[in-house]
Amino acid sequence: MKWVTRRQIRVNRLATAWLIQRFVDREAEFVFVEPDQVAEFQQSHHAIGFDAPGAKYAHDKGITSFEQIIQDNALSDVALAELAEIVHAADIPGAIDQRAEASGLRAISHGFPLVTGNDYETLEKAFFIYDSLYAYLKALQENQLK
């Protein structure tokens, strides 16, 4: 399936792409366009849009597209719920103090476009960060860390 979002991906768009690839659509194909092109691309290419005006997962009303996709797909993994809280805190204005990890995630995510050549390279590199954070949260939940 094609998924479309705004170009120059950062916190929520990175996390959402990771969530889609790892838990919703292993064969996902991501397309990055200008913000005002997401809704049209979604319709004309039968894609699913996220984190943009007019997208299926529009990231509005104080909820991230990451959280919306977890809800819509009934993903009940406790570590994913924790990660959703971190992404929310890192991405929603005024929420940064809700999770200690949020500041670091925001800083790392905003640095990616500064060291990568394009959004596809950012995805490739960023997925390791999200895999690591998810593994850490999973290990904490299962009391595997001391």
**pLDDT of 15 over the 90 cut:** yes
Give how many domains the chain has, as a whole number: 1
Give residue-wise pLDDT tens across range 55-83.
999 987 789 999 999 999 999 999 999 99
The pLDDT value recorded for residue 61 is 78
What is the pTM assigned to this prediction?
Answer: 0.95
Q: Is residue 7 part of a domain?
A: yes
Rounded to an integer, what distance in angstroms lies between the CA atom of residue 67 and that of residue 107?
20
Q: Is residue 146 part of a domain?
A: no
Count CB neighbours of 89 within 10 A: 22
Interacting residues of 8 by C-beta distance below 8 A, sequence separation 6+? 32, 113, 119
Q: Is residue 12 part of a domain?
A: yes
Q: Is residue 38 part of a domain?
A: yes
Query: 30 or 144: whose pLDDT is higher?
Result: 30
Average pLDDT rounded to a whole number, residues 128-139: 96
Q: By residue range, what is the domain housing residue 58? A: 2-141
